[in-house]
Amino acid sequence: MECSEIPPCCNSKNNNKFLSCSSMTWTAVLASLLALCATAPTARCSTPDDSNYFAAVVDFAAPRATGKPALQNMMDNVRALGPLVHQAAQVSADIIVFPEDGLQGFDNEVLPLSVPAPGEGGAPCDDDAAEAAAGQPLRELSCLARTHGVYLVVNLVDEQPCAAGDAKCPARGSYHYNTNVVFDRSGKIVAKYHKYNLFGEKYDDVPPAVELVTFDTDFGVRFGMFICFDIFFDTPAAQLVRERNVTDIIFSAAWFSEVPFLTAVQMHSGWAHALDVTVLASGMNSPAVGSTGSGIYRGRHGIYGYTMNWRQEHTLVFARVPKRAYWQDGVRPQPFPDRLDPVRNYGAGADPYADVSALHMKKDNLTLYRTELLPRPARDQVVEAAGHVCHGAFCCHYDVQMRGVALFQTASAAVSLHGGYSRPRAAATVDEEDEEAKDDFDGFYYRVVAFSGVKGHKGGVISTGTQVCGLVSCLSEDARSCFGQIVAGLDSPSIKWTEFQSVYLEAEFPREDGVQFASTLVGPRYDPLPASAFSLERRRGAEDGTQNLSLELTQRQPLLDLRAFAIYGRNFAWDGQPPTDS
């Protein structure tokens, strides 16, 4: 379908809303989407002259461990893309992004495909020979992009033959690369990227060199592209921004969220904020292994829309995205979302954990951190605490003002962007190890934490230089209870709540060879703070090659139900060293 044939929809100059839509309610979703467009003039695809473009990302729930033959499993997932692409096209999406492993799913037989180089030949949609098993998925995807007139980004395994005499060639005679593929509106392949930083992917190979992949669109935006664990490293992620001046990023992931600092939306939006770029992030949805989290993030201007969906289902997030040339200086003020209200979440009949408990998060190892317990204020008491916590030479300075409150006496901003009520249920926790703390729970305690060292991943096979200065919630005074989730009884009058009137953190980080970002969580559903609620500032450090970073709570309303507030730093120079064990 050509651009001119796309159904009339939202005018790019008049509509500034975003939607997050569940596959469970597509009739209502379509009605809502079309309602946005009811008064808008007819629009075609975005053009280079437009001040914005329309983007969609999908939290995609590919079935796990289906037992199906590889081709059948992949084609089932390719066909599942169709309704989602159609819905995005109905609101004039110019580009739609699907996640890492989205066409394969977890624990399924792998189907490697030989993906042509960008610009090599025509569109797979025109290749009748591609009806054969080896080319059928590419042909279907190409035709899907053409039919709906969108740029389509998918992830698959690209099989490339070994060169003659290649001593490193696998026994199978070819390399298998975790790959993002981009189809343009005509169905042609215009870009592909091979993932460089693998996360224990034993069936995939590391490409011989890192690829800094960009592609241009007919609506005047150049995108960079990388996959999942790549975002944690200098190359290609930060390098794309630094060396190629890319301001819009395609990011597909099958992210395994970790509390309290590295849940999906929290980390990905924090990275976008730190580098001040637009990120279109699509995540795999598999709550049983902690995978969900997709969104559209506009740098320091904040989050345009996102989902952390604890139900196993597809969710489409759609937004009008301003082009960088039309960004205004400074951060546009953003009010707290209407449903950041603890009374809604913990009032009679409400149970915010009824579904969240199905989302199984990893948990950081606090025993490696240095920590200090903050005093917990009595009801109506204001407490100020200041000091520092050091892990070796790395010190986290803090200055905090807190007040003890009763839940139903406060007008404080707090808990969830998702809001809503759910049916009452029995108490449960995210981790069984929190059971003992839950039994005696009478309100959150808070600790300031500091870490400077090397963190191990996948059993220590991968290691990353890490520095953290933060504030975290705990279920009791015992440091081992930190990062735990309590799930019932928070509406009890006996619960002691802590309202944060001000929070200031500061630490010194390397000026080069690293990335530092704000890592925030509020409430039970893994929601990050809006960009307007905090300020991350940098200034030159006392020593050459250093910088001081400060993170401050800047919103006007006091903050209740804070779970994490931190500066999370990556030190690339320490990557590959033995993990810190004490």
C-beta separation of 487 from 439 below 8 A: no
Listed residue (202, 271, 133) closest to 458, CA to CA = 202
100 belongs to the catalytic site: yes
User: What is the separation of C-alpha 45 from the centre of its chain, rounded to a whole number of angstroms?
Assistant: 27
What angle in degrees, to the nearest 10, is found between the helix axes of 70-90 and 26-37? 30
Listed residue (37, 171, 132) closest to 92, CA to CA = 37
Listed residue (8, 93, 4) closest to 42, CA to CA = 8
Residue of 10, 21, 37, 100 marked active site: 100
User: Tokens representing 365?
Assistant: 């190892």
H or E element: which one contains 137?
helix 136-148
Residue of 228, 396, 469, 474 marked active site: 228
Instruction: Classify the C-alpha dihedral 102-301-322-191 as positive or negative.
Output: negative
Q: How far apart are the first and last CA of the chain?
A: 59
192 belongs to the catalytic site: no
DSSP for 106-132?
A: TTS----B-PPPTTSSS-GGG-GGGGS
What angle in degrees, to the nearest 10, is found between the helix axes of 70-90 and 136-148? 10
Residue of 188, 192, 195, 323 marked active site: 195
Instruction: Classify the C-alpha dihedral 432-434-437-438 as positive or negative.
Output: negative
CB atoms within 10 A of CB 292: 29
68 belongs to the catalytic site: no
Q: Which residues are catalytic?
A: 100, 195, 228
